[in-house]
Chains A and B, each alone.
Chain A
Amino acid sequence: MDRDRQKEQEDVKRDILESAALEKNVSPLGGLTQFNIEFGFTEAIVRGLRSGFLKSNEYRQISQCEILEDVKLTLADTELCGILQNVNKLTPEIILKKVEEKFVSEFQFLQSLAVGPLATFLEYITYEDLITNISFIITSLIRGADPETLLAKCLPLGRSPHLRAIMTFENFEGSDGLVELYRTVLVDTPVAPYFEKYFNAELKSEQPGRDIHRVYNEVEIDIITNMLQKLWLEDFYAYCQSLGGETWTMMKELLEFEADRRAISITINSFGTPLNDMNNRDSERKALYCSFGQLYPEATMFTFSRVGDFNQLSTALDPFKVYADLWRQSQDGSGRSITDLLYQHEVKLMLKAFDGQSHFASFYAWTKLKKQEERNLKWILSCINQRRDQKDTNRWVKIM
C-alpha cells in the first residue's frame, strides 16, 4: 500500500516536472516573413480544423432527427463520423463526451507541436478551465467528497498533473491545511500567481492560515473562482500585449469582448443577491470586473456602481453602441436572452479572427468556436431526448 502511494507520488512529480519543462519565452513573433518558421505548421493545422465545424445544414438535419439513432446516422456524414463507432448505448451525455474527447485530443495534438510563445499561448487558454477545476476540487475535498470520482468530473481542457497532486493532499482540516496546500502543491501550478495575488489582497491579519480558511468558508466558491479568472484574463491580456504585432491587434478585440461579457453577466446575475447591495457594489462587485475592455473604466468602475436592476443597466449600456444594440434585441421579445445574443456576437467576432494570417488569434478563436459547437450539440441532443418541438430546438447558434 505504502509502496503504491509512493509510486503514485513519484508519477505525479514526474508529470509536474515534465509540464514545467516548457520553454516559456516572449520573443517577437515576426510578421509575415518569419512567423511560418516556427508556427506555420501548427497554424495550418488549425485552419484545417476550422473546416471541420458542423455546417448550418448539418445542424438542421440533426435537429430534425426524432431519436438519437438517427443522430448517429446523420453525424456519420460529418466531421464527427468516427466518434460513435463503438458506443453501445446512446445518450446525450455519452455522445457529448465523445465529441469533447475528440476536441481535447485535437487541442493536445496542437499543444504537442507548439513551441515557444505558441506553447505559452495555448497554455494560457487552458488556464481558465484549470482554475475552475482546482476550485472545484478544493471545495469538494473540503466537503469531504471521494477523491477518485472528482477527476472524472473536471473539465477536460484544464487537466494537468497538478490536479492529481491536489487529490493526494490529505490535510484539509485545521487552519493550516489550506496554507500547506498552497505551499506544497498550488505553488507549482502555473496559476499560482493568481492565487497569490488574490490571497494577498484578502489577507488582512498576521495569521495567513486562519484567514485562508476563513476566506474559503465565508466567501462563496463562485466568487473566488471568478476573481481568479479575472486575474487570469488580465494576465492573458498583458501577455498578448507583450507579444505585439498582428496577434496583439486581433486578441485585443477578442479579450476585451470577453471582459465586457463577463462584466455584463456578473452584473445581471448579481441582481437579487447580496452582491447587489449598495455597500457591496463598490467593494465586492467592482473587484470582479476586469481592468480592461470597452466598458472600462467609465462603465465598470463608475456607472455600474449605480446599477441595481435591469433598467439602470440598460441606461448604463447606452453609450456603448454594440452592447446597447444587443440589449435592445434581447428586450424586444423575440425570445432570445442577452446570454444567447452575447454568444451570437462572440461567434461573429471569432469568425473574424480567422481573417488575416500569421497570428495566434486563430487558435483562440478555434477553441471558442469548438466550445460553442459543443454547446449547440448538447442543446439539440437534449431537446431531441426530451421530445421538444422544433421551435425550441432551434436555439442553437449558427457558426458557419
Chain B
Amino acid sequence: VSTQSTWECSCISTKMAEQRLQVLPSRMVLTSLKERYVAARTGHELLKKKSDAIKSRLQRMLKEILDVKRRVVGGLKDSFFSHTEATWAAGNINHVVIENAREATFRVKGKMLNVAGVKLPVFERATDGVPARDKDLAMLGLSKGGQSVASCKESFTKTLEDLIQLASLQTSLKTLDDALKVTNRKVNALEYVIMPQINNTIKYIMAELDEWEREDQYRIKKVKDIRQREDDEEAAQRRAKENAMDLSGILPTPSSAKNFIETRSYEVDALMDGDD
C-alpha cells in the first residue's frame, strides 16, 4: 500500500513540487510561511510516529489472527465431529433443538477500543442479562445419548468463542488497515507535496525580496550617480561662470571674492605688502 502511494507521490513530486503557492512576496507572508513550515514538520513527525505505532499493532494482530484461524479450523472440525457423535448416541436431534430454541443463551456485545488514536470495534461475549442455562433443552437425550449432546453443546460453545474472537480481530484489522492507509497518505502528502511547496514558496519570496533589495540598491546608486553628475555639472558651470565674471572684474560676488582670496591669496598678500 505505502509503496504505491510513494510512487504516486514521487510522480506528483516531480510536478507539484515545482509549483509553489501563489502569494504576495512580502515579509509578513514570509514569517507566516516559516511558521507554517515548522507546523508541517511537527505534524509530519507526529504522523510518522502514529503510522509506526499502527504498523506494529497491525503486525501483532496479523500473528494473532493466524493463530485464531488455526484454532477455529481445528475447533470446527472437532465440533462437527462431536455433533456426529451426539447423533450416533441420541438419534437425530437437529429438529428438536431447532424447534425448541427460544432465547439465546450466547450473546455478543461490541465496544470501542482506542489504539494509537484509532477507534477499533471489538466483540466479546456478553455475560450479563443472559439466561444461565438453556432450560428448554437441558434434558435433551435423557433416555439415550444425553452426555454426547451436552459435550456437543460445549464443543460448539468453545468454537463459537473462538469465532467471535476471530470476527473481532478481522474487523479491527480492516479498520486499522484503513487508518494506516490514511495516515500514510497524510505523511507522504506532507513529505512530498506540502513541505516542498512551502519551501519553494519561502525560497521564492526570499529571492524576490533579495532582488528587490538589489534593485533598490542599484536604483539608489544610479540616482546617486545621476545626482553626482548633476552636481558636478552644476559646479563646473558655476566655475566657468565665475571665471568669466572674474575676468571682467565687475560685480565681485562674495563667492568670487572668496574664490579670489583663496585662489589668489599670494596676489592678495602681494597687494597687502605692496601697500607698505
Contact = CB atoms under 8 A, between A and B. Distances in A.
Interface of A: 136, 139-140, 143, 145, 150, 153, 155, 220-223, 226, 229, 261-262, 265-266, 268-270, 272-273, 275, 288, 337, 339-340, 375, 378-379, 382-383, 386, 388, 392, 395
Contacts of A378: 84, 87-88
A261 B143 CA distance: 8
A136 B95 contact: yes
Interface residues of B, number: 27
B13 interface: no
A314 to B, nearest CB: 15
Nearest to A378: B87
A269 B136 contact: no
A269 B88 contact: no
B95 A153 contact: yes
Contacts of B81: 383, 386, 388, 392
B136 A395 contact: no
Interface stretch (B28-36, B145-153, B217-225): B145-153
A136 B150 CA distance: 20
Closest 8 CB pairs of A and B: A269-B146, A222-B139, A153-B95, A140-B99, A382-B84, A220-B139, A339-B89, A262-B143
Contact of A221 (B84, B136, B146, B148): B136
B22 interface: no
A226 B142 contact: yes
Question: DSSP majority for the B interface?
Answer: helix
Contacts of A383: 81, 84
Given A226-B143, A262-B143, A269-B143, 15 more contacts: A136-B96, A136-B99, A222-B139, A222-B141, A269-B139, A272-B150, A337-B147, A337-B148, A339-B144, A339-B145, A339-B147, A382-B84, A382-B87, A386-B81, A395-B88
A183 to B, nearest CB: 25
Given A269-B146, A339-B148, A375 B141 contact: no
A220 B88 CA distance: 23
A130 to B, nearest CB: 15
Given A383-B84, A386-B81, A388-B81, A265 B144 contact: yes
6 contacts: A223-B142, A262-B144, A265-B143, A340-B89, A386-B84, A392-B81
Contacts of B147: 268-269, 337, 339
Interface string B59-87: 00000000000000000010011001001
Given A386-B81, A388-B81, A379 B88 contact: yes
Contacts of A262: 143-144
A145 B97 CA distance: 13
A379 to B, nearest CB: 5
Contacts of B136: 220-221
B100 interface: yes
Given A139-B99, A140-B99, A220-B136, A270 B84 contact: no
Contacts of B258: none
Contacts of A275: 139
A265 B99 contact: no
Contacts of B99: 136, 139-140, 143, 145, 150, 153
Interface in B95-154: 95-96, 99-100, 102, 135-136, 138-148, 150
Contact of B100 (A140, A223, A337): A140
Residue from A155, A220, A222, A383 whose CB has the most chain B CB atoms within 10 Å: A222
